Structure formats: structure tokens, C-alpha cells
Chains A and B, each alone.
Chain A
Amino acid sequence: MTALLEYRGVGKRFPGVVALDDVCFAVRGGEVRALIGENGAGKSTLLKILGGQYRPDSGTLAVAGEARSFASPRESQDAGIAIIHQELQLAPELSVAENLLLGALPRRHGLLDRIAMRERARAVLARLGEPIDPDTRLGDLSIGRRQMVEIGRALLRDARIIAFDEPTSSLSTRETERLMAIIGDLRAEGRAIIYVSHRMEEVFALADSATVLRDGRHVLDAEHVSADDEPRLLAAMAGREIADIYAYRPRTHGDVAMRVAGLAGPGVRAPVDLAVARGEVLGLFGLVGAGRSELFRLIFGAVRPHAGHVEVEGRALPPGEPRAAIAAGLALAPEDRKDQGIVPVASVRENVALAWRNLARATPLLRRATEAAEAARQIGTMRVKAASPDVAIATLSGGNQQKAIIARWLMAGARILLLDEPTRGIDVGARSEIYGHIYGFAEDGGSVLFASSDMAEVLGVADRIVVMCEGRIAGIVDRADATADRLLRLALPERGTRNPFLDDEAA
């Protein structure tokens, strides 16, 4: 029996990074294949090629044995492929029915046929077992229900190949159970399912087979997976040479450097109290939407808080003023590097010098020689790989852009770094270097707040871990007491209820 979907030697490069290199694997009808790997292993790039967002540089995709290359998402959809994204691709202002049928709305005499639209929507919602009124505004549904609507879209198009990209990352326990059941049904109908996740428990509960990616290459294909395979899969994901990518270095902590007192604002519902010491690396863990980025933006003054304040070295910062925060030694490396971190058209040097030349003590005339020398020094310290400091920063790889942003704050003399997902989309080598710089910064007496949704990373890097859940702090755990299980329990919204993926560990 030929596979419904096959990757044949697929490769893809971006400037400075090889995202995928000669990837081969196949998925048959009636099979759920897990696609696992660490951040930056190439999972999303594989899905984007499947979805027609990227074209491979080498190799091909085969759908039902026939080689295909998709120039657009539309062509991919027409080939019977559906991708259920992590960030849902729906229109929140439209109704559920409209979202379900968007792109294929039924017409009568050239006008929208609302009756037919509602009927079809109701039929598919019934099939999914979701009691949703098709006229509800999509934005009023929970994330889990919105995901069901997206699955409904795939069913309406009768997609034969359905890929799920980390579908449970923001679902409650009950919603996760529903999703598992529905994926089981889709498999029974003979569809080919790709399931991307880094939660091993889900993989063992659901998948028939697994493909492990590391650094853009498939390193392991397992045709049958069970919980016994866990050590094998984990070893393949991590790779021996990077087994200790975090290389944690213990430190002694000094006095309190920054105190957050009763801070609340958009996205942070309950007042947050925190203190971070000199020399400390404080991890901030939480699921998508837990409020990590929002807390950082409040601390930094990028957003004005509703209540509370931030004290640095015992002095309160004026609320909502990034310039004052910077003057006090704070620095923010935002999660959204492209939209909030870099000035893409400007050179690496300009980007690195930006904060320094805006410090209060800066002169109105540029001190070009001093600035160039100082920027070059920081670029060297951070080992930013660029052909020259004069090339546009947008041409650098993600890892080097991130290093340049940290170099920017070192140049400005920052004492407290707020790093928001600093290693997202960054290759393993650069991640390891960034961790090293974080330790070095802390060893020199600086403080680091490190937000991440990658639990292994938080466990590996932080001295102490703050867990956030739904806009509040759910708990603070010392490194010595921190386990994956404990962090996850704190991070999940419905505490006290059964979680099917934790039962094994809890038993």
C-alpha cells in the first residue's frame, strides 16, 4: 500500500541556517505519525512546506504516490491537506459557520446561502460532538473549541492528510481528551495524521509511529512506539554531543537587585510580587498565554500597569516609561524579535549602538569612533557572526540577531536582563552559546529573568523558577525541587482535575 504522504529528501535553507536537510519519511492512511524534536529541529518548517507556505530547495513531497510542489496554501488545500496550527488561522469577528466554510461559502443566485451554510456547519459540528451554535462569534469560543472549528474545516474539505502542530499547548485537560478521541476517529476513517508535539506522554498515548528530527535531519524512524521507547526517542532528540546543552553553572547570589511589588496590568490579572537577586537567573515558565511576555512588558514599562510598581536598588521606577527603566539598568529582549527587537533595515552596528546612544548621558552629536569601537567589542564578546558590522541585521540568522540584541544591552551597561523566549527558533549551537553568556552575565553580578515555554530549558538554566498560569503566579520553585511534573501541574489551568498524561508519573 502506497503512503498517502511522503517526504522524499526534502531540504530547505534560510540565510545562515540549514532548516531541513534531506528529510525522508512517509505516513500511510489510518496512521498517526508523531513528529518530535526540540525547538528549532525543523518541525514547523516541514509543516510549512506541506502547507504551501515554503517551497523546498531540494527533494519533493509525494501525495498518494504523486510528486507535488505547492506554490501557495491554496494549492496545498486543494490537494486534500489541512494543517491545524498552533496559532489558529481563523477570523475571530466572523461566526462559527462562516469560519467553517470560509473559502467555500455556499451560494444561491450568486448570493450567500445562509440556510445551507448553517446546515452544513451544524452537520459537521454534530460529527465532532461539539454543541456549538453556528451563529456564535468565533472570538467568543475557548481556544479548544476554536481548534475544533479548525478541525471541522478540514473535515468539510474532506482533507485526507491532517497535520496537528502542537495542538494541546493551550488546551485544558478535558479539551485535550476530546481532541485525542477525535484524532482516533480520524485515524479510523483512514486519514493520514501527522502529530507534532514535544510532550512524550501524548505521543505514546496516540501515535502508531514516530519520526525524530534534530537540527533539520530525521535521526530516527520508529514504526511502532510505546512508552518503552522513551529513552531511545529522547536520546535521539537531544543527540549525544548536546546532551548537556545547558551546562549549568551554580553561582552565589548577592543582594536584591529588583523588586516587583503588586504589579498588575493587561494580561497580568493578579498582582505579582517578585524579587530577583544580583547574580541570579530566574526562570519564568508557563504555557502559551500564561502572561509571561505581558509581565515583562509591565516590568519594563512598555505597558502602563494598573497597579503596583517596580523597584531597582530600592528606588521605584516611574510607571510606563521604558526610558526610566533603561536608565535604572533594565533591558528587554522581546519575544517577537522581528517586530519589537531589531530595526531590520539598519546595520548590525546601528542596532547594537541604539540603546547606548540614547542613554541619558549621551551627547547629541554621534561619537562615531567610540561607538564603532564599543559596538565591535560587544559584537566580538557575543560572537555575533556577520560578514561585517555594516550589513543589515535582517540578513543574519535568528541566533545571531538575538546575540546582537544582547550585545546591544551589554553595550548600554544593563544590569537586569529580561529575556523573553530568547532561544525560540534558534539552532542548538547558538542556544548553548546564549546560555553561556547568561551565566557569565550573572557571574559578573547581573540579574537575568528568563521566560520560556520550553520546560527542559527552564529546568536546565534557571536557579529558581516562577510558574505562571492564566495571568497570575501559580508558584515559585527552587532549582533543587523543580521537576517537569511539578512545573506542569502548576502551569496547567485546571489543577486538581485528572490529566491523562500525568497519570503514569503520578501513580
Chain B
Amino acid sequence: MNDQHIVSAFDRDLEGIQAHVMKMGGLVEAAIGEAANAMVARDQELAEQVRAADKAIDALEELINERCANLIALRAPAAVDLRVVLSVMKIAGNLERIGDYAKNMAKRTSVLVHMEQVEGAHASLKRMAHEVQLMLKDVLDAFIQRDVDLARDVLERDEGVDQMYNALFREFLTFMMEDPRYITPCMHLHFMAKNTERMGDHVTAIAEQVVYLVTGSMPEDARPKATRLDA
């Protein structure tokens, strides 16, 4: 298929929207990384920056939705163009949620710096956040390159994140049982871990949108899902 529309402004609109998604994705990626760094380094200033940066992410989501609404109204997109618009709106929603989780992580970091440090817990939480960050980077690449294989790869990797969360859950439980003074910080850390796990789910949802965008149908649910709650 030819890549270009007869009406070139249509191409410009579509490209513009996708560029905004990539920009938004970049900001969210950075937010995850910095929120994790702030947590490990107990850096309140960096945590504050992450919280402040979320406004730009929210503004981009609004802008993307507005542009998509305009494009639907003015250009009546069909087939792949329609799928781009639909998936972009959902992806922007997912990115916004991930941004919120990163912000929440930073918020809890600001609380944690005033508490006793839980030795050893931060490293695995940071690894988990790092993995989600990598998955997000890959899924954004998959989106812009229309790479279904890479999107499917991201879908598979979410299970690893879930396992990391389960391991952390057990670890926090152990800390809390050892010393009740750790209960409050560990509760915060647990929420951070849970939020990171949810970020992974949103990345997965983005990967599904990429599959839909390229193939026209949602991926068949082949992803192994751990439904056990016996962690």
C-alpha cells in the first residue's frame, strides 16, 4: 500500500498525533526511571521533580485526545487510519496512567526519606521498575515501527514483572514480620511494587493496541496469566 494520502494534510495530522504519543512515551519512560532512582537514592528533590513533571504528561494526553477528535470529525479515517486513531487514544490513556503511578512512587519516596531505611528492598524494586521501563521503550518502538513481533515479545515479558512483584511481596512480608518498625515503610514499598506491576499491565495493554493497529484484531489471549493470589 502507498504510504501517502492524496490529501497530504491528512498525513501531517496523523504523523503529528503519533509524534505527540512518542513524546509522551519518552516523558513517561523518564518518569519511571527517575522515580526509581529517587527511591534508591532517597533523593527528595528528584522525587519532587518527577511529581511536577506529571503535569506535562497529562497535558499531552489531553492534546492527543483533542487532535484525535478533530481528525475523526474532519477526515473520517477508515481502515488502518481509523485503527491508528483508536489505538493512539487508548495508548495515550495507558501512558497517562503509568505516569500517575510513577508520580505516586515519587510521592511515597518523599514520605520514605523521613523513615528508617529498609535495607535490601530497594534494589529489587528498582530492577522491576527498570524492566517495566525497558518494556515501555520496546513497546513504543514496536508502535512507531509497526513491529508486531516486538509487541508480542513485550506481552510475554509481563509475566516476569508479575513474578518480580510476587517475590517482592514475600520479601516485604518477611521484613515486616521481623521488625514491626518496618511495617510503615514496607507498606509504602509494597504499594510502589504493586504500582510498578500495574505499570507493566498498562505496557501490556499498549502492546495489545500495537497488535490491533497492525493486524486489525486484538491478540488472542495466549499470555500465561497467573491467577493465583497465594504469593
To the question of whether A and B form a pair in one complex, the answer is: no
Residues of A within 8 A of B (CB): none
